[in-house]
Amino acid sequence: MGTITVSLRPKRSHSAYPGLMPRQTREQIDEEIIDCAALLFARHGFAETSIQRVADAVGYSKSGLLRHYPSKEALQEEVVVRCLAELRDALGEASGQAPGPRRDRTALTALARLAMRRPGFIALLLATLLRDPVGGESVPLQPVADVIVEAFLLDPDADMDRVVRVAGAIGALAVARTALGEHLLPDTAAGHLVDVSYDALGHPGRPGH
């Protein structure tokens, strides 16, 4: 898999160089930093991901990144807060539906759309589900896992087969999104991700079919 290279270097003046894109806003830079940091935290863990590593990945200077987030801990906290907020917002529609195939597909559709918009968040979600729940790094991420438990109505003590299938579905979605990257077409990719992940749940057919 290739190196993540998201350019965040300040752009030249739009007026001096007509035809170039305008300078990124602080909000746009923040979003790119957060998503890239989420992907690196997912791959390497919080302990092994330094501020310098994030800065190198996004093509920004360490000092410039520290002007946005004064420490790795501050960046980590913001990544978790934003990931959790976007997950809750995305899965809100599913939480209002009755248990069953339709609710599951609604939840996976929301996750697929989030994955296309925020690939780092979906990678972090998968990493959260794979981590040892008693490990130190799992503590700040536990609320992220709890959102999935609530969305898919999981009960590990009652139905381990269901837990395994949901983990497989999210894994299929996250791995396909990360592996295929820019090869996925925005107009059709979410549907493909939903189809492959929904199949892992073992439902007899698609809702409404």
Residue 19 has pLDDT above 80, yes or no: no
Residue in 86, 88, 79 with CA at minimum distance from that of residue 32: 79
Three-state secondary-structure class, residue 130 = helix
What's the pLDDT at 9? 41
Q: What is the DSSP letter of 184?
A: S
Integer Cα distance of 158 and 70 in angstroms: 44
Residue 18 has pLDDT above 80, yes or no: no
Residue in 94, 109, 99, 97 with CA at minimum distance from that of residue 189: 109
Q: What is the DSSP letter of 99?
A: S
What's the pLDDT at 133? 58
The pair of structure tokens assigned to 125 is 């979600």
The total of other beta-carbon atoms located within 10 Å of residue 67's CB is 11
Residue ranges and CATH numbers for the domains of the chain are 26-199 (1.10.357.10)
Q: Which residue did the predictor score with more confidence, 181 or 36?
A: 36
Quick one: what percent of the chain has pLDDT higher than 70? 83
The total of other beta-carbon atoms located within 10 Å of residue 183's CB is 7
Three-state secondary-structure class, residue 84 = helix
- Judged by average pLDDT, the poorest of 8-12, 81-85, 110-114, 194-198 is 8-12
Q: What is the arithmetic mean of pLDDT over 200-205? A: 86
How does the average pLDDT of the chain come out, rounded?
A: 83
Integer Cα distance of 40 and 123 in angstroms: 9
Integer Cα distance of 123 and 43 in angstroms: 8
pTM for this entry: 0.79
What's the pLDDT at 158? 79
Residue-wise pLDDT for 133-167, tens only, equals 555 566 678 888 899 999 999 987 878 999 999 99
What's the pLDDT at 207? 58
Q: Give the CB-side neighbour count of residue 133, counting CA atoms within 13 A.
A: 6
What's the pLDDT at 10? 38
Residue 3 has pLDDT above 50, yes or no: no
Task: Report the greatest alpha carbon distance in the chain.
Answer: 65
- Judged by average pLDDT, the poorest of 21-25, 84-88, 111-115, 171-175 is 21-25
